[in-house]
Amino acid sequence: MKYRCILLFGAPGAGKGTQGKIFGAIPKFFHCACGDVFRNLRTDTPLGKVFLQYSSRGELVPDEPTIKLWKESIKAATSVGRFHPKHDLLVLDGIPRNVNQAKILRDTLDVVGVFYLENSNPEKLIERIQRRAIKENRLDDANLEIIRQRLKTYEAETKPVLKHYGNKLVHVINADQSPAKVLADILHYAVQK
Ligand code: AMP
């Protein structure tokens, strides 16, 4: 069985997490942020160390351990009854993060919509990431050079995922708007899925 899902897509700092948390509070939606799954790892475990190694450089963790960890996390959420794959729409944030991950997950995900949170101003993204770094104690987001590398990684590796899914699935959302307006725009399409 494939998981019916929508993807929250966009650059770091675009507001995917904010939207994802709201979706997570609505019955029949289950939000999963891949970055949170990594951040919940203990840093003294082998994979926790690998995560720190890559995230502290603004780079992606290699695909194989990422997909394995993500699958384990979804299975764990299912077995404790937090996620009901038959009834819930899975809201993914931060995965698939490159075209290879999208290909690996082709048999696992039934992607019914991709919401591309598009920002016009990269400087605003940087400001937002830095504010969040302090508030949420996110090491990878504290340093300007790492943030710039994260944005480069996004442009080079993540953005091509949009083309992979194609125009029919992708909805462009103006992420310069207030969070409430962004939510309204996403919901407009998502409730039809
Ligand atoms: P995020 O909070 O989504 O920006 O993720 C923080 C960091 O976790 C990223 O910079 C990556 O190092 C790692 N990460 C999160 N999701 C993925 C993914 N799907 N593939 C590879 N690395 C990821």
Distance (Å) of CA 124 to CA 11, 29, 106, 121, 176? 11, 29, 34, 5, 9
Nearest alpha carbon to residue 138 among 40, 15, 61 = 40
Nearest alpha carbon to residue 38 among 22, 23, 24, 50 = 50
For the CA of 94, the nearest atom of ligand 1: 3
For the CA of 150, the nearest atom of ligand 1: 10
Mean of pLDDT values over 138-155: 90
pLDDT of 137 higher than 80: no
Mean of pLDDT values over 81-102: 98
Amino acid occupying residue 91: V
Distance 166 CA to ligand 1 centre (A): 23
Q: How many domains does the chain have?
A: 1
Contact 70, 95 (CB under 8 A): yes
Residue ranges making up the domain that contains 41: 3-190
Ligand 1 pocket test, pick from 60, 128, 154, 158 with the greatest ligand atom count within 8 Å of Cβ, gives 60
Distance 106 CA to ligand 1 centre (A): 19
Whole-angstrom Cα distance, residue 190 to residue 114?
9
pLDDT of residue 139: 72
Q: Which residues contact 12 (CB under 8 A, 6 or more apart)?
A: 125, 129, 141, 147, 150, 151, 154
Mean of pLDDT values over 35-39: 95
List residues bridging with 109 in a β-sheet: 3
What pLDDT band is residue 135 in, cutting at 50, 70 and 90? Answer: confident
> Quick check: helix, strand or coil at residue 160?
helix
Q: Which residues line ligand 1 (CB under 6 A)?
A: 12, 34-35, 38, 54-55, 59-61, 66, 94-95, 97, 101, 140, 150
pLDDT of residue 186: 96
What pLDDT band is residue 192 in, cutting at 50, 70 and 90? Answer: confident
pLDDT of 20 higher than 80: yes
pLDDT of residue 68: 98
| Residue 79, CB-side half-sphere exposure with 13 Å CA sphere | 6
Mean of pLDDT values over 172-189: 96
Assign residue 67 the CATH number of its domain: 3.40.50.300
What pLDDT band is residue 26 in, cutting at 50, 70 and 90? Answer: very high
Instruction: Tokens for 146, please give them.
Output: 């790492």
142 or 167: which leads in pLDDT: 167
Q: Cα dihedral sign for 176, 34, 154, 124? A: positive
What is the DSSP code string of 60-127?
PPPHHHHHHHHHHHHHHHHHTTS--TTTPEEEEES-S-SHHHHHHGGGTEEEEEEEEEE-S-HHHHHH
